[in-house]
Amino acid sequence: MGSRGAANRSGARAGSRVTARASVNVGHPAQYASSPLLAAKTPLWRSRLVVVGVGLAFAVLLGKAVYVQAVNTDFYLKQGESRYARTFELPPKRGRIFDRNGLELAGSVPAPSIWAIPKDFKADAAQLKALSQLLGLGPRELNLRLSENPNFVWLRRQVDDGVAQQVRQLGIKGLHQAREFRRQYPEGEAAAHVVGFTNFEQKGQEGIELTFQKELEGRAGSRSVVRDRLGRIVEDIGEGREPVDGSDVTLSIDAKVQYYAYQKVKEAVELHQAKSGSVVVLDTRTGELLALANYPSYMPGDRQSLAGGALRNRALTDTFEPGSTMKPFVIAQALQSGRVRPETVIQTAPGRLAIGGSTISDSHPHGLLTVEQIIQKSSNVGTVKLAMDMPAREMWEVFNGVGLGQKPQLPFPGLAAGRLRPHKSWRHIEQATMSYGYGLSVSLVQLARAYTVFARDGQLMPVSILKNDLPAAGVQVFRPEVATSVRKMLQMAAGEGGTAPKAQTLGYSVGGKTGTAHKQEGNAYLSNKYRAWFVGMAPVSSPRIVVAVMVDEPSNGRYFGGDVAAPVFSQVVHETLRALREPTDLAVQPQIYARALAVPAEVESN
């Protein structure tokens, strides 16, 4: 009994403890003790770290939201728009280039360009094969281009409309077309050096295309659109801007004269196995350039051929020692100053003249020559004797007065000024050699312009490559009677007994001067390399045109200007005057003309 009572008392106490503990748990629910893990105490610093981390995360998110929504809104708006919106540039149509008669020398035709977004590009094997064939790209090259940039790549620029249509029908995702234009040059290589060419972006690279880039290019337009996920245009955004086409340019060049001049200089270069050749045709009434022809040339529409020296318009950019074509200016100044008259006799025997330790020679002795005959026979000795009677300053002023040593006032890239040193630095031997064209340099256009003083009664004419039908006013250099006298001498030089009978032209009187100059390399003149010149005018009775011809390094046995350049002059003069409908001033006598061409040109002095 006693032990049972004790047990009951112990159980009662335990029950009371359980009841008390239960009552405590009910009052403080966070103190579970059923799991040892939950019963473990958490360090206070860890709780605080979690709270701080959560707070920082919310702060970063809030800062990012503020940055996106308030600080850099424009950037993210643009990024969003780029996913569905696109602005296309609408290229303008480039202006056309015309010759003086309205014949198109350069024009633009639609030529779409094919481009792709590689990351969106999806095509099966058959589509890829068809695309490769249409674009002229091998499968490997096509895949290589598509791997260059995930956002944009050109596949083929300026394809034909038919090709673009077939590409469009393939229905390849990620493949697009841009509206572009391709330049066409109907006159091809004949007018290439005048017109020039453009690159794929329709930016002028040479010639008139480069000079008048601003006028020809126009102003691009734009169009903003919304695209769907397949890249298709859904709608336009805002107001687009229409492109403004470029302005047209009309040149003074006559396409017929240009073509004929090019063909004749090409034939001469090939016949005489020369390095190159150039022809300039100048209208003496207006100062307009009717032709600027050079050979070798290039096809301006074929970009694979656009390299090397063939791109240069040699008539404007290259300079050479002009040889005996300088003699008429020295003679004209001797007449102008009253030192001599056309009939004044000059002793040229024994055909050579010593100056400062150097000897100047004629090709063979002439003895007594009148001033007229000095030009007719192209005597170095006679010319030098007249030149050495002049102060160096006076001779320099003559050369400078006809435009030598100065860039022609033409809107054209790469114009050459030539070389005419100040007279104070001339030595006596240099003044002597300059009188017959050594020691100075000129371009063919400069030389043609200089000869307008004889064609226009002593006036030096301005030159133009843009159409100008109105007569131009020149600057008086020589008195009219002096120019008339020199014209007569030039007619004698181009006739029988002169150095260039092959310059004679059916139906028209002509006058001009030959030049045959040794080429210089370094400080030495080469004995076997020459440049052949002929510069003249027609009709002599009232000159309408000046034609200048230069053939560089003829090497087929003949190299004198009278043999190589004069025949080109004759042919170009005939066709040009016919194109201008200039009436003939001589009776047409084919048998006399044929005989004149058969007479070998007298060897002229160098």
The set of long-range contacts for 586-591, using a CB threshold of 8 Å and a minimum separation of 24, is 586/507, 586/508, 586/509, 586/539, 588/506, 588/507, 590/506
Catalytic residue among 324, 363, 509, 570: 324
In whole angstroms, what is the distance from residue 121 CA to residue 85 CA?
Answer: 18
Residue 198 pairs in a beta bridge with 204
Q: Which of 352, 350, 372, 374 is nearest to 361 (CA)?
A: 352
10 Å CB burial of residue 528 (0-12, 13-18, 19+) is exposed
- Per residue, the 3-state secondary structure of 153-180, as one string, reads EEEECCCCHHHHHHHHHCCCECEEEECC
In whole angstroms, what is the distance from residue 324 CA to residue 318 CA?
Answer: 18
User: Taking a C-beta distance cutoff of 8 angstroms, is the pair 561, 552 a contact?
Assistant: no
Q: Around Cβ 339, how many Cβ atoms within 10 Å?
A: 13
In whole angstroms, what is the distance from residue 597 CA to residue 365 CA?
Answer: 25
| 324 noted as active-site residue | yes
Counts of helices then strands in the chain (DSSP H, E):
23, 21
Q: Which helix (H) or strand (E) holds 285?
A: none
Lookup: tokens for 491: 């007619």
Q: Which of 176, 202, 296 is nearest to 553 (CA)?
A: 296
Q: Measured between alpha carbons, how far is residue 202 from residues 143, 183, 306 in Å?
A: 28, 8, 15
Residue found by looking up tokens 């073509």 in the block: 259
Amino acid at 296: P
10 Å CB burial of residue 47 (0-12, 13-18, 19+) is exposed
10 Å CB burial of residue 74 (0-12, 13-18, 19+) is exposed
Coil, strand or helix at 565: coil
Q: Measured between alpha carbons, how far is residue 601 from residues 231, 269, 376 in Å?
A: 74, 19, 12
Q: Which residues contact 513 (CB under 8 A, 6 or more apart)?
A: 324, 325, 327, 328, 375, 378, 490, 493, 500, 534, 535, 536
Residue 107 pairs in a beta bridge with 184
DSSP character for 234? E
Q: Which of 519, 539, 538, 537 is nearest to 529 (CA)?
A: 519
Q: Would you please indicate which residues are annotated as catalytic (active-site) residues?
A: 324
